[in-house]
A and B are shown apart, each in its own frame.
Chain A
Amino acid sequence: MLYSEIVMDHFRNPRNVGEIENPDGVGEVGNAKCGDIMKIYLRIEDDVIIDVRFKTFGCASAIASSSMATEMIKGKSVREAAELTNKAVAQALDGLPPVKMHCSVLAEEAITKALNDYLGKKGRPLLPERNQNQLAHDHGNR
């Protein structure tokens, strides 16, 4: 099998799937050309993420990365959530195949975007976002 048992568990039984009505923060990244789109919704009270939901179009790795990332930031403060890295997501999934690492990057970026949406509404300084070029997939030359 291409994927670890943890990836397959999160793919088969993704946690926190869905939307939040009138979310405090929302972030969408990816594009259909690359085959991955992630959308993260946040409910934040007193700077603490009390609920997080996601919707993802993508492969098993993308769905598992979204699921794991939402688990990792639920109940965390905005500051703590901002420190989540794609490497931590991939590690928590017991690794991803090299060609699928971009899925964990997308999860990190979707959360950063959602947090920035929240921070922007509050008039607070935004977090640095990854350069989109870093997310570009290797589409080869064929």
Chain B
Amino acid sequence: MNGKVYMDYAATTFVRPEVVSAMMSYHSISFENPSSLYSYSNGNRRAIEEAREAVADLIGALSEEIFFTGGGSEADNWALKGLAFSQAGKDKRHLITTETEHHAVLHSMEFLERMGFRVTYLPVDSEGFVPIDKLKEAIRDDTLLVSVAFANNEIGTIQDVEAIVEVCRDRGVLFHTDAVQAAAHVPIDVKSMGIDMLSMAAHKFYGPKGVGALYVKKGIRLENLIHGGGQERSRRAGTENVASIVGMGKAASLASEEMEFDSLEICKLRDRLIDGVMSTIPHARLNGPVGDRRLPNNANFSFVGIEGETLLLDLDDAGIAVSTGSACASASLDPSHVLMAIGLSHEMAHGSVRLTLGRSSSDDDVSRVLEVLPYIVERRRAMSPLWDDYVARREVL
């Protein structure tokens, strides 16, 4: 990728050439509105339905249970608000989620609280897992829905979804999962896992940005959020983004074929990266679990004494693109809510970087990070009063 080491695949992936190729003709040749009645439009309509089948196959759903959206955030918003609004006048007005969800879920929940719903935000353990006993305690007679991300976007924790679903089923509560980071990276079968609703986004698995999907199990009624024409079987109005939907379908079918192999390869790189960082940089912390319970492409570290934005910018100078949970890199000055929820101190939460790998990641990329990161950490620690305090507290490191 032009000599640059890109390690921010969790933010977005590149669009695979096969996907671009599949999309191309829908911009300029087969450009007709798929809702038009003349025969030219039939190909577009078919292409959308083929994409729907491909997305459904990826997660073991029926194609009529897949609704295309403008991305993962819209899918989350629709699942939560659509279900809540469908309860008008009924008594189930309590929802459960976790403290470590994506803001698309958290901010939707906060909105619903302002609309009179009650929400429980479950704590997580030090690796980011939802304690099942806490979930059991939180469910009440008026609980409508539990929403827990399949895998966390910052620290890569893959939840024990089946255990969570079992609790929900026992108590007659619906289960939604934000699978934006997990879909096409780890196996998901909504039927055998018992998932009622699932959100996904194409740009996290080599598809285009601005398109996503919500799986809604047959029989579940959601209020529409977007009203207008009869698209998406009258449940999500708006002329379909045909090219992007086709791209999402192509990316999904490629993932169905290649996910297992890709994940194994990426896992090897991830583990080399994690082992390398932890063995060469003293007083580093790996945030999130190890092994199979972590997303194959995710590594997240905190370094005592350093603020994350400095690491991000120093790595950028070295041609390495990463992300940080550091507050100072965003408009808000709060450190990552996820890192705080797993029990990190403010200084450790401020000093975090997330490196996420993908199809184009190589051994050379990992070597480059392992070559420059220890030097960057050492240099910035040498100018940090917090590091001095840490050294003094521990006397000898």
Interface residues, chain A, with chain B CB atoms under 8 Å away: 8, 11-12, 14, 17-18, 28, 32-39, 54-63, 99-100, 137-140, 142
Give complex CA distance A57, B332 in Å. Answer: 18
One digit per residue, 1 when the CB lies within 8 angstroms of any chain A CB and 0 when it does not, for chain B 342-361 equals 00011100100000000000
Q: Does B334 contact A (CB under 8 A)?
A: yes
Tell me the bound Cα distance from A14 to B310 in angstroms. 12
A33-B307 contact, Cβ under 8 Å, with A58-B328, A59-B329, A61-B328 = no
How many angstroms from the CA of A86 to the CA of B199 in the assembled complex? 46
Asked if B84 lies at the interface with its beta carbon under 8 angstroms from chain A, I say no
Residues A11 and B305 in contact, CB atoms below 8 Å apart: no
Q: Chain B contacts of A63 at CB under 8 A?
A: 310, 383
B333 touches A138 (CB 8 A): yes
Contacts of A11 in B (CB 8 A): 310, 313
Measured between beta carbons, the chain B residues less than 8 angstroms from A139 are 332-334
Chain B, 52-94, CB within 8 A of any chain A CB? none
Q: Give me 19 other A-B pairs in contact (C-beta within 8 A), A18-B383, A54-B383, A138-B332 excluded.
A: A32-B347, A32-B386, A33-B346, A34-B333, A35-B346, A37-B385, A55-B383, A55-B388, A56-B383, A57-B384, A57-B387, A59-B309, A59-B326, A59-B328, A60-B310, A62-B307, A63-B310, A63-B383, A100-B328
- Chain B residue with Cβ nearest A103: B328
In the complex, A17→B110 CA distance in Å?
A: 44
- When distances are taken between beta carbons in the complex, the residues of chain A under 8 Å from B385 are 28, 37-39, 55-57
Q: For the complex, would chain B's binding face be called helix, strand, loop or mixed by DSSP majority?
A: helix
| A18 → chain B closest CB, angstroms | 8
A residues near B331, Cβ cutoff 8 Å: 99
Whether A35 pairs with B384 at a CB distance below 8 angstroms is: no
Main secondary structure of the interface of A (DSSP, over half): mixed
Give the shortest distance, in Å, between B307 (CB) and chain A (any CB): 5
The one of B106, B305, B310, B337 in contact with A59, judged by C-beta atoms closer than 8 angstroms, is B310
- Write the B303-314 contact mask toward A (1 if CB under 8 angstroms, else 0): 001110110010
Partner of A32, one of B313, B329, B334, B350: B350
A60-B310, A138-B333, A142-B337 given; A35·B305 CB < 8 A: no
Q: Is B128 an interface residue (CB 8 A)?
A: no
B335 interface residue, CB < 8 Å from A?
A: yes
B295 adjacent to chain A (CB < 8 Å): no
Chain B residue at minimal CB-CB distance from A28: B385
**A54-B383 Cα distance, complex, nearest whole Å:** 8
* B313 A35 Cβ-Cβ under 8 A: no
Minimum CB distance partner of B348 in chain A: A32
**Chain B residues with CB under 8 A of A35:** 307, 326-328, 333, 335, 346-347, 350
Residues of A within 8 A of B382 (CB): 17
Could you say which residues of chain A place their CB within 8 Å of the CB of B309?
A: 59-60
User: Closest Cβ of chain A: how far from B109's Cβ, in Å?
Assistant: 11
29 A-B pairs whose Cβ atoms sit less than 8 Å apart in the complex: A8-B313, A17-B382, A32-B345, A32-B386, A33-B346, A35-B326, A35-B327, A35-B335, A35-B346, A35-B350, A36-B328, A37-B384, A37-B385, A56-B384, A57-B306, A57-B307, A57-B386, A59-B309, A61-B328, A63-B383, A100-B328, A137-B333, A139-B332, A139-B333, A139-B334, A140-B333, A142-B110, A142-B334, A142-B337
- A60 in contact with B313 given A32-B350, A35-B307, A140-B332 (CB within 8 Å): yes
* Chain B nearest CB, measured from A69 CB (Å): 14
Q: A12–B326 Cα gap in the complex (Å)?
A: 19
On chain A, the residues within 8 Å of B337 by CB distance are 142
CA distance A33 to B309 in the complex (A): 15
> Are A142 and B313 in contact, with the CB atoms below 8 A?
no
Please give the distance in Å from B325's CB to the nearest CB on chain A: 11
CB-based nearest B residue for A12: B317
- Residues of A within 8 Å of B384, CB to CB, are 37, 55-57
Shortest distance between the CB of A73 and any CB in chain B (Å): 18
10 pairs of A and B residues whose beta carbons are closest in the complex: A59-B328, A32-B347, A57-B386, A59-B309, A35-B350, A39-B385, A55-B385, A137-B333, A57-B384, A33-B346
